[in-house]
Structure 1
């Protein structure tokens, strides 16, 4: 499974217009494309940072839509009142769901980088260590890992039932995250928290 993430920094007063464009125009068109297995959108209204992620059944399916989504992305970016977005393509290396994601859900995304040669160790630690520890967190819903095997860049997203669960998990999640990174010699690049404003990913369990 593969994913394309588009990160947009929206003008604060244009977030709702941008969200409407993604929900009403982009999502129906993308979901109708061959090989698409869903779309999600994360939003931080304080910073204006929004991340739209589309998931694809294969690398070929994702590659085949690059031109088809370009104009839609440009139009949505205009609606957000944003500059040029950052677009990344990833392998969805792992996906774990403990509970369904609801409309009040929030997410914490952690970006890191690791030696590409250590990717198999990262995946093994995700399965055997990280998942069991996250399953015990109150309000925890799901955990996914996207990576770029060439650069070693990776994106880890933990979703919680609501803002209260996200906030109450912060200290424990930081400890787990830092321990995970130290064990695998991963360098941290960024951490951010978001509301899950669209949750229509149909990616199967991948562990």
Structure 2
């Protein structure tokens, strides 16, 4: 099964609290049709953060762009982030140990 991913890269600020709204933001993302999961990562040695969302099809990824843009814009304001870039990928390999 082919999956797709969107990776948003942010720069954080001293006022960034990435846990402040995490549940509300994640629920908004996961409510999009075809969303299979989300990760939010904060860099340990710099002011960088990544949001990675996973999608069950290229159509779901494409169909989520407008909603994702809105959620991202809201998150930038709420969390005092600066957007560096947004890229989309085909997931070619994945492995989970659980």
Q: What TM-score, normalized by structure 1, do the two folds share?
A: 0.43
Q: 1:80 to 1:45 in 2, by over 3 A?
A: farther
**Structure-2 separation of matches of 1:47 and 1:85:** 14
What are the within-5 Å matches in structure 2 for residues 42-191 of structure 1? 42-97=41-96, 99-100=97-98
Is the partner of 2:91 in helix, strand or coil?
strand
RMSD, aligned α-carbons: 1.5
Q: Whose Rg is larger?
A: 1
RCO higher in structure (CA 8 A, sep ≥6):
2
Q: What TM-score, normalized by structure 2, do the two folds share?
A: 0.87
CA deviation after TM superposition for structure 1 residue 69, in Å: 1.5
CA deviation after TM superposition for structure 1 residue 45, in Å: 4.5
**Structure-2 separation of matches of 1:41 and 1:83:** 15
**Structure number with higher helix proportion:** 1
Is the partner of 1:20 in helix, strand or coil?
coil
Q: Deviations over 1:144-202 (max 9, x none)?
A: xxxxxxxxxxxxxxxxxxxxxxxxxxxxxxxxxxxxxxxxxxxxxxxxxxxxxxxxxxx
Q: Could you tell me which of 7, 10, 29 is aligned with 1:8?
A: 10
**Structure-2 separation of matches of 1:43 and 1:74:** 18
**Structure-1 separation of matches of 2:49 and 2:64:** 21
* 1:19 alignment partner in structure 2: 19
Any unmatched runs of 5+ in structure 2?
Answer: none
CA contact (8 A) 1:12 1:45 kept: no
